[in-house]
Structure 1
Amino acid sequence: MANNYDIIVSGGGPGGIAAAVSAARQGKKVLLVERYGFLGGGATAMLVNPFMTYFAGQRQIVKGIFQEVVERLTRLGAFGNSRMPVTPWAFDAEMFKLVADQLCLENRVEVLFHASVVGAKKRGKEIKALVVATKEGLKKLTATLYIDATGDGDVAYFAGAKVEKGRRQDGLCQPMTLNFQVANVDLDKMPSREEMTAKYRAAKANGLINCPREDVLFFYTTNPGVVHFNQTRVLQCDGTRAADLSMAELEGRRQCWEFFQWLKAHVPGFEFAYLQKMAPQIGVRETRRVIGEYVLTEEDLMSARKFPDVVACGSYPVDIHNPQGEGTIMRYLPEGEWYDIPYRALLPLGIDNLLIAGRSISSTHEAHSSLRVMPIVFAIGQAAGTAAALSVAAGRPPRQLDYRLLQKELLTQGAFLGAE
């Protein structure tokens, strides 16, 4: 390992991958720090699948590095499935790991696996070093600029940035979900989502299932006879507390096993199925949001607001799972519309050499529920990495970077910023 880097990216999920690769492609010395032994974050460790929409009507609004990932997965036969006419964006999580590795290796991103950020050394308004926990003990890592792609705002929090969690009235965050996959399913006998939901609700009423989710949500996968379930719901746990996460993992697996046993005993097509995979960790929808120079709101989303300093776009609806029980709020943008994400939302207040990439950018609880999905996170990460590289090259902090130069470079990289 080097003594110093141009840019250190913390968190190897979609946002971190895009940030690290985009910065490295501009000739910067980049270290990507990841707590697991593989990249992918939500796509692999949390087994989130498929990609949520990256279209506004017929127009694709997330491109760039995300599109590269899609094309690489497609060449591997690991993307899309004809059994999914509504959301055909399933992908193979194991192949995603390989694609992420390849992108980093090809672009000379140095990767440090099995390392977790546990602190930050700060002087004035600048981070001087990160403290990471490894098997060797605590290590100090230094860079000119830092990117927080942890999804939880860990770096920003340790550096003393202003953060918020949960909804305004009580601070509760969206519930967690342990995703799982069931194999050897007879897809021809398997009922529709509506039919399975009716059976599920009857089973809940009869005491066979104890889960606060109101319906059944499954997706076909890229692998024959394998069905993906986004089904469990664990309430009122804080994804930044180890004790809460521990309880959530246990409860998530309990719900998973209970639901699978019910499938096998009562749902056609699952008679000979087996539980193939549970996510390595529970899926966390929401934790910290880092307050920046602009706070993106639900009104911005619903009005399809456009910003002069746009660096990414999104069209996924406001999607809030009830933190206290059954129910999910879905509020859709006007047909064919998208919203802009301004560069200012990536710039945390009070810290000059830090950029935020991913779901923890500056937003309200409601806006966060849309921008948290993986395609949008890829776009935000690419913007953060590109901004960091340009800032290092210019020798000035990211908030002094001319956003027009950033936009020009992002467009050169194939990103979508609304004008084509």
Structure 2
Amino acid sequence: MSSHRNYYVLLLVVISILGSSVAARRVHAETYDIVIYGGTSAAMTAAVQAKRMNQSVIVVSPDRHLGGLTSGGLGWTDTGNKYVIGGLAKEFYQAVYRHYQDDKSWNFQQREQYGDRAQGHRATDDEDATMWVFEPHVAEQIFDAMMVENEIPVVRDAWLDRESGVVVKDRKIVSIKMLDGQTFSGRQFIDATYEGDLIAAAGVQTTTGRESIADFNEPHAGVQTGRLFHQHHFDVLDRPVDPYIVPGDPSSGVIPRVSADPPGEFGSGDDRIQAYCFRTCFTNHDPNRVPFPKPDGYDAAQYEVLLRCFAAGWEDVFGKFDPLPNFKTDTNNHGPVSFDNIGYNYDYPEASYKRRAEIIREHETYQKGILYFIANDPRVPESIQNKMQRWGLAKDEFTDNGNWPHQIYVREARRMVGQFIMTENHLRKKIETPESVGMGSYSIDSHNTQRYITPEGTVQNEGDIGISTNGPYQIARGCLMPRAEQCVNLTVPVCVSSTHMAFGSIRMEPVFMILGQSAATLSALANQSQTDVQEIGYDALRERLLDDGQILQNRPR
């Protein structure tokens, strides 16, 4: 988050508390058929689908930039099985393909240099080709164009008054008010945020953290000490890492970024959530490269645990510098100590705007700091440092935010407790999923939730899960809706009703786009039938989704 945006959030909070007349109270007289709160990729597809169904729709976004993570650095798309991505989601990736067919889109690199990463294994080979890798600004341009082409009004920097801004009567949301006094009335509402603020403010039940194994009979739920997936753990090193300031001496205290708290009993539930980071866009092309900046508040001592990883043989720092067009990357977390800021986000889902801004600033300082540390600290192995110094931030990305992503990767926050709860066993086809509204296929992929000290006195990470879903899976329409006794005109395509385990796969951006379209379809049909979203017949919903290109069941290639 930029300093400008942090200041704006804090200013709005102060204005709200003081009741200052500085903020003009603007009331939008029109009652929209569908009001969408959020600026994520799900909000974009929901808005377009609503308009295609002849609904009056408005997007009310707390963000200045549209597209969430898709335009915020996550350009190496987590697709899973690309053949189950249909509808408006597929249209987005087709637009990406068309963009990169124009030679003018390759301003630093020739298409042939990028090779089959653009046209082959990340692109389908059918007549309506799609492309799954892209620069952040390209995604944002496509989303902006979607809003303009469909004449959809968008209100940006609009922050929901979470304390008293949601008016609910007879289980229906009537209107939502922003901190600056803007009020939006609607017949249907869609919460398309990563945080689920509208859901919670409307009085709909939510949950955070991890369920226990016993809660839903999910074998990989809860605390998973001793289970090691991917390479995001300390067993990839040649030798263990000591957690104490003076190695071997617990009385000396614990080094930064390692928790002294016990991890919890195996299989037990807790309030921990998977780590956040920024999906950063780097380049090693000097004309477009900005050296990694030294952040305010930089403290080299925060990276002692990384130094000990280097000493223990860690060399694979660059394992997730995934290549994007024009000599850029989508750089993600990789290894035992990397860009995931493990354990520093637990209170984010329910936190005030002020506290969230503090958490985001801390994450930004940590991640900018680790980049500066690797590139500049003389204790870093020379071979790693020399290579890191050839990289930097892309000068032509996030130009209003110091070339830093405008969206932190909120891998999970609140989850609605809705009409149907998706679980690990639904994704793995051990339990049948009713009334499909779309499909996912990516593995159950949850990042670490804690870095703790083992009984043997060494550092270890916990919470990273990588479990196959054994092929594409269906997503139930009931997970998009609250229970009818709580709210009857709200749909939720992002903070869906699921367990922590199931959300580890559902949380992928193409799935959010799919569910955004399905949520809007459900809302529009409810308006057209003048009934509650829970009362829409599935046959009518299914027919419309299929007509609009959604894929609701697995199909052969």
TM-score with structure 1 setting the length: 0.86
Number of residue pairs the alignment of both structures matches: 394
1:132 counterpart = 2:244:
no
Specify the alignment match of 1:395 in structure 2.
Answer: 530
Kindly indicate whether the alpha-carbon contact (under 8 Å) linking 1:203 and 1:209 is maintained by their aligned counterparts in 2: no
For residues 421 and 500 of structure 2, what CA distance do their matches in structure 1 show? 10
Q: Structure 1 residues 155 and 271, CA, compared in 2 at 3 Å: closer, same or farther? A: closer
Kindly indicate whether the alpha-carbon contact (under 8 Å) linking 1:249 and 1:282 is maintained by their aligned counterparts in 2: no
- Identity, % of aligned pairs? 24
Q: Displacement of 1:266 after TM fit?
A: 3.5
Specify the alignment match of 1:356 in structure 2.
Answer: 492
Specify the alignment match of 1:259 in structure 2.
Answer: 371
For residues 271 and 288 of structure 1, what CA distance do their matches in structure 2 show? 38
Specify the alignment match of 1:49 in structure 2.
Answer: 75
For residues 313 and 148 of structure 2, what CA distance do their matches in structure 1 show? 46
For residues 247 and 38 of structure 1, what CA distance do their matches in structure 2 show? 20
Specify the alignment match of 1:66 in structure 2.
Answer: 89
1:113 counterpart = 2:136:
no
Q: Structure 1 residues 248 and 12, CA, compared in 2 at 3 Å: closer, same or farther? A: closer
Given residue 205 of structure 1, which amino acid in structure 2 is its aligned partner?
Answer: C
Given residue 474 of structure 2, which amino acid in structure 1 is its aligned partner?
Answer: D
Question: Of residues 95, 107, 122 in structure 1, which corresponds to 2:168?
Answer: 122
Q: Displacement of 1:220 after TM fit?
A: 0.6
How big is each residue's C-alpha offset from its partner over 1:367-387, in whole Å with a ceiling of 9 and x where there is no partner? Answer: 011100101111111000111
How big is each residue's C-alpha offset from its partner over 1:327-364, in whole Å with a ceiling of 9 and x where there is no partner? Answer: 52100122xx2111111111112101111112x11000
Specify the alignment match of 1:318 in structure 2.
Answer: 444
For residues 364 and 430 of structure 2, what CA distance do their matches in structure 1 show? 36
Q: Structure 1 residues 101 and 251, CA, compared in 2 at 3 Å: closer, same or farther? A: closer
Given residue 255 of structure 1, which amino acid in structure 2 is its aligned partner?
Answer: Q
Kindly indicate whether the alpha-carbon contact (under 8 Å) linking 1:20 and 1:32 is maintained by their aligned counterparts in 2: yes
For residues 361 and 438 of structure 2, what CA distance do their matches in structure 1 show? 33
For residues 320 and 274 of structure 1, what CA distance do their matches in structure 2 show? 28
Q: Displacement of 1:279 after TM fit?
A: 1.3
Specify the alignment match of 1:221 in structure 2.
Answer: 324
Q: Displacement of 1:207 after TM fit?
A: 7.2
1:405 counterpart = 2:514:
no
Greater shift in the superposed pair: 273-282 or 108-117: 273-282
1:272 counterpart = 2:375:
no
For residues 171 and 50 of structure 1, what CA distance do their matches in structure 2 show? 30
1:233 counterpart = 2:340:
yes
1:374 counterpart = 2:509:
yes
For residues 32 and 313 of structure 2, what CA distance do their matches in structure 1 show? 51
Alignment RMSD: 2.8
For residues 379 and 214 of structure 1, what CA distance do their matches in structure 2 show? 34
Q: Which runs of 5+ in 2 are unaligned?
A: 1-27, 124-131, 212-268, 287-303, 334-338, 377-381, 395-402, 452-460
1:149 counterpart = 2:192:
yes
Given residue 246 of structure 1, which amino acid in structure 2 is its aligned partner?
Answer: E
Q: Which has the larger radius of gyration?
A: 2
Q: Displacement of 1:254 after TM fit?
A: 2.8
For residues 306 and 203 of structure 2, what CA distance do their matches in structure 1 show? 49
Kindly indicate whether the alpha-carbon contact (under 8 Å) linking 1:179 and 1:283 is maintained by their aligned counterparts in 2: yes
Specify the alignment match of 2:3 in structure 1.
Answer: none
Kindly indicate whether the alpha-carbon contact (under 8 Å) linking 1:6 and 1:30 is maintained by their aligned counterparts in 2: yes
Question: Of residues 412, 419, 422 in structure 2, which corresponds to 1:286?
Answer: 412
For residues 164 and 323 of structure 1, what CA distance do their matches in structure 2 show? 16
**Secondary structure of 1:130's partner?**
strand
1:329 counterpart = 2:460:
no
Given residue 475 of structure 2, which amino acid in structure 1 is its aligned partner?
Answer: I
1:21 counterpart = 2:45:
no
For residues 304 and 76 of structure 1, what CA distance do their matches in structure 2 show? 41
Question: Of residues 158, 161, 171 in structure 1, which corresponds to 2:271?
Answer: 171
For residues 220 and 206 of structure 1, what CA distance do their matches in structure 2 show? 25
1:341 counterpart = 2:443:
no
Q: Structure 1 residues 247 and 254, CA, compared in 2 at 3 Å: closer, same or farther? A: same
How big is each residue's C-alpha offset from its partner over 1:235-273, in whole Å with a ceiling of 9 and x where there is no partner? Answer: 331333242552343233333332355257633654433
Greater shift in the superposed pair: 143-152 or 103-112: 103-112
For residues 272 and 104 of structure 1, what CA distance do their matches in structure 2 show? 38
Given residue 41 of structure 1, which amino acid in structure 2 is its aligned partner?
Answer: G
Q: Displacement of 1:87 after TM fit?
A: 5.6
Given residue 78 of structure 2, which amino acid in structure 1 is its aligned partner?
Answer: M
Given residue 50 of structure 1, which amino acid in structure 2 is its aligned partner?
Answer: W
For residues 176 and 163 of structure 1, what CA distance do their matches in structure 2 show? 20
Q: Structure 1 residues 151 and 206, CA, compared in 2 at 3 Å: closer, same or farther? A: closer
Kindly indicate whether the alpha-carbon contact (under 8 Å) linking 1:239 and 1:284 is maintained by their aligned counterparts in 2: no
Given residue 402 of structure 1, which amino acid in structure 2 is its aligned partner?
Answer: G
For residues 87 and 29 of structure 2, what CA distance do their matches in structure 1 show? 29
Given residue 113 of structure 1, which amino acid in structure 2 is its aligned partner?
Answer: R
